Amino acid sequence: MRTRTERRERLVPHTVDGETLLVTEEYALEVPVPPRDWDHIVLTGALAVVAIGLGIVIVWSTSSIGDLLVRTDVLKPIAYAAATGFSLGWMVCMALEWLARYDPARIKRPRTAGHVFLAADMAAVCVHGWIADSLKVGIIGAVLSAGAKGLYTLVLDHQAAPLDARTQQWVAIKRGEVGSRLALGAVRRQLTRVESRAAAEEAALRTAPDPDPDPADPSEGSPDATVLTLPPIAVTTKDAVRIAWDSGLRDPEAVRKYVSEAQGRAAPPDTVNRYLRDLKAGA
């Protein structure tokens, strides 16, 4: 068994003048060297070959299709930028295949879409070879794209360990639970924004008090005849419903009547009922 020497540190007691403290001390340790993981090395090499092949295919396809589009009097930057879409389309689908490699149901759509994009890419390369009076070269370029896609599919099938039926169902259930949590979080944020806008609109449409009220009639016992009567503080529908709830009211009609009296106007029944449902859910 092969070993290697590693330098490590440890705390040791050291005494000076009768006082002992912990200090660090370096020491050498022989640790075993694990054997080479040839499976991982071979897989890494295969992925490197696939990546290099995909790079060559992108350059070849972009060059061929870009030259084909330039023949239609399109500006070169625009033509070559559009040409990359043919290759990038099926390569994005390949990335989605990799992410869904443990789910046979989810991998079908990106794989089918990838085949469609690949067919379009190969057809465009062949058309360019035909127009350039070199159909054989166009067919070879199309075969290169198909070969890169085939190599990737083989590596993906080798890497994706199949799951048994029960484990697959367990994964689907857990994915659904997490997805539901994410969806509910987004819905709650959306409802909060809508509710805030609704409250702002209600506050804006609410009748505001007179900015310059007339002074109150002085009374005989009033110490200061210039004191003004302050208008009551307006409450929102949500606050009024919560006050009624905290006061023990549970009947929707009674709560709506209380909210109408608190705001000085008829409260919308739907809004009152929605706030009551929220309070019941949080109780």
Report the alpha-carbon distance of residue 84 to residue 54 in Å, rounded.
13
Q: What's the pLDDT score for residue 283?
A: 65
Q: What's the pLDDT score for residue 217?
A: 53
Q: What's the pLDDT score for residue 20?
A: 92
Rounded to 5 degrees, what are φ and ψ at 7?
-95, 120
Q: In whole angstroms, how far apart are CA 97 and each of 92, 144, 166?
A: 9, 20, 22
The model carries a pTM of 0.53
Mean pLDDT by runs of 10 across the 283 residues of the chain is 88 91 92 85 89 88 88 84 85 89 85 91 90 86 88 85 82 85 87 85 67 51 47 68 80 82 79 82 71
